[in-house]
Amino acid sequence: MRTVEDTTRPETGSPGIDFPDKPEGPVVAAVLAGGIGCLALGVFTTLAEASSSIKDWLNWKDAVGPLAGKTGMAVIVWLIAWVALHLFYRDKPFETRRALVIALVLIGLGALGTFPTFFQAFASE
């Protein structure tokens, strides 16, 4: 990842625009955490299909079924990841482009995990 010298330089011409700059670290943390949250949803969706015990554990409310636990756990993982990554990156000047590429891969894997043809292939008997 790049250093502060690369990231604090304005990338676009901004004549007459003078605002105090901010580090990109918190943005990197949010982007990566978003990817992790999406991946978590795909993982929990597939795990619930593959294991009846996990499916039962995720069944937090009978009326909603395991969808409650799958989405609830994904949100919990996302928020924990965001807090942890924010604490790590908040003062760091890393750039967002690489974080976005990583996040898009994680989002893609997460979306794959929610795709019925994929997760139903792991269905337990």
94 binds another protein (CB under 8 A): no
Binding-site member from 22, 53, 56, 76 for another protein (CB under 8 A)? 22
* Site for another protein, residues 37 to 66, rule: CB under 8 A: 37-38, 41, 45, 63-65
73 binds another protein (CB under 8 A): no
12 Cβ contact list (under 8 Å, min separation 6): none
Task: Kindly state the smallest distance separating residue 22's Cβ from another protein, in Å.
Answer: 6
Contact positions vs another protein (CB under 8 A): 7, 10-17, 19, 21-22, 24, 26-27, 30-31, 33-34, 37-38, 41, 45, 63-65, 67-68, 70-71, 74-75, 78, 95-97, 99-100, 103-104, 107, 110-111, 114-117, 120
